[in-house]
Structure 1
């Protein structure tokens, strides 16, 4: 009798355990909540991440994106933002995006260009005289092709936002020709095209994570940095290096992506809300970046930074041609992109 009772108890326990597992499986989702009772529309709490500080224009654009999502969805969509690499380096971010553990990433074009060759388009040296020129290509056909290619990595390419053009900050001296950079250790963002350009002009390009730059500049591990003005101000590198040459030698976009796994869970209507929200946010962010270019320059001058402008790039032409020829031959998208810049 006791054995029969024990068997019934174990059978009941097994049924309860199976039922619990089924409920847990049905309810598990890192980016969305279950549908509301009564057939109401789906609600979402998305996760987004990036590498910059909260004062940077990319973070402000992400905030704007969150506001637009919430407004267009009537409060059904909310965005949690994890800035300054809180969720790990970009390599880890991409892995989490691939699985859907993170929904949105504002990823540096530099890191992503190591995974997708066509993204080196943005890093063809001395292509844009100003940030405004770079922004004009945002909706061009080659750029749309770059975003489309990201699908092969489990990502939905949404848009490009910008932080500003790149310039050169040195601890000592301004830059007038490649001779001024010979043998100098320059911190760069890790990208094949950027590495090739700095090598071609005879400098010692040194890739390193953003958190290491301040100390490396301070201790002399590096002599200068390749930097946009927004990062220069927000990271306060001007406190230890005060010779800035405005070169506009590169532009610096972020690739805004969504996890394909997360995107595919959305209805067609909600997918359109995401696209519209990001477009509105980036439109705003681009204008904010353009405004900040001048404001940041004034901030640096007031802080005592010695500013010079590179007006003649003829000495850089051999290096420019070498890099552009190499990458346009490797990628038809890069070739098309460069053709767009001269139309």
Structure 2
């Protein structure tokens, strides 16, 4: 990973119009709440960086959108106003469409398979695009497990979601998927989701099981659909302008430690996802398990759209086949 980061560090330096003064205290933003796996990984990264630098460097973590939504934080990274972020690949894909391929429906068989895909050379190689296309340096991937559906009404078939307002993260891959399904995808920031589901502003939500359980979204649901239809990757980012002002030694340390801690989230979800699913199942809500056939032609339609938008979808499908377990 250090070799790859150093290989495209030059692109980040060339992109930066001027190198800012070195910041001893880095600011790292996230949209996830304090108890979330990503936030805890960010805090662990900051603690280890402080230790590794003998206290010379520190990281202040700002969770729960304290520094804005992801689009705003990415703009701050581009200008150097924000040093670092743990960010959904969703926001990155809005500017570097190849990354949308990581959301291919049923690319991964399960959460462990998703982790193997994200750790592949093909996925890691995609990070080389980021300095030129988005003004950031990517250090490595994490994730938030696989996506599920929580519905206020009964869901016995995909037709039951047709026309329903379904909360999504605002980015094209998931928008295209639910449009193909015939639902009414409704972008909405995370802090608004609980109340929106409670008061009927949305009929259903697309969400990872950690937050379904920890933020109690199931309380206002009639049906939990375990669909595992998409992985939800995360990427560790450093502002290219900030990166250009770092010494080679600091770049190596930061890239190694950040990559380590974003990658640790993959192990966390592999270990804990089934437990969260079991706890949600035990709430007494109707719990439905479905597979790719449930979504009918929507998967094929998504693949047709994104084979045009992303140049790496075919390669990732090959990686998926190579890393699948028999």
Write out aligned runs for 1:34-183 (5 A).
44-152=24-132, 153-175=134-156, 177-183=157-163
Instruction: Give TM-score, length-normalised by structure 1.
Output: 0.83
Partner of residue 20, structure 1: none
User: For the residues of structure 2 that align with 1:304 and 1:74, how far apart are their CA atoms?
Assistant: 51
Secondary structure, aligned partner of 1:225: strand
Instruction: Give TM-score, length-normalised by structure 2.
Output: 0.87
User: For the residues of structure 1 that align with 2:237 and 2:262, how far apart are their CA atoms?
Assistant: 12
Partner of residue 302, structure 2: 323
| Max Rg structure | 1
* Residue of 181, 184, 194 corresponding to 1:204: 184
User: For the residues of structure 1 that align with 2:228 and 2:154, how far apart are their CA atoms?
Assistant: 17
> How big is each residue's C-alpha offset from its partner over 1:53-107, in whole Å with a ceiling of 9 and x where there is no partner?
0111110110121122122222222110000000111122111111222111111
CA contact (8 A) 2:119 2:141 kept: no
* Residue of 183, 195, 209 corresponding to 1:215: 195
Matched residue count: 302
> How big is the shift at 1:317?
4.2
> How big is the shift at 1:242?
4.1
Following TM superposition, where does structure 1 have runs of at least 4 consecutive aligned residues deviating by more than 6 angstroms?
Answer: none
Residue 272 of structure 2 corresponds to residue 283 of structure 1: no
User: For the residues of structure 2 that align with 1:290 and 1:342, how far apart are their CA atoms?
Assistant: 19
More deviation in 51-60 or 165-174?
165-174
More deviation in 46-55 or 215-224?
215-224
Partner of residue 17, structure 2: none
Partner of residue 256, structure 1: 236
Write out aligned runs for 1:231-310 (5 A).
231-310=211-290
Identify unmatched segments of 5+ residues in structure 1.
1-27, 33-43
Identify unmatched segments of 5+ residues in structure 2.
1-19
The alignment yields a C-alpha RMSD, in angstroms, of: 1.8
User: For the residues of structure 1 that align with 2:294 and 2:198, how far apart are their CA atoms?
Assistant: 30
User: For the residues of structure 2 that align with 1:72 and 1:283, how far apart are their CA atoms?
Assistant: 18
> How big is the shift at 1:234?
2.8
Partner of residue 317, structure 2: 338
Structure having greater relative contact order (Cα 8 Å, sep ≥ 6): 2
User: For the residues of structure 2 that align with 1:204 and 1:283, how far apart are their CA atoms?
Assistant: 34
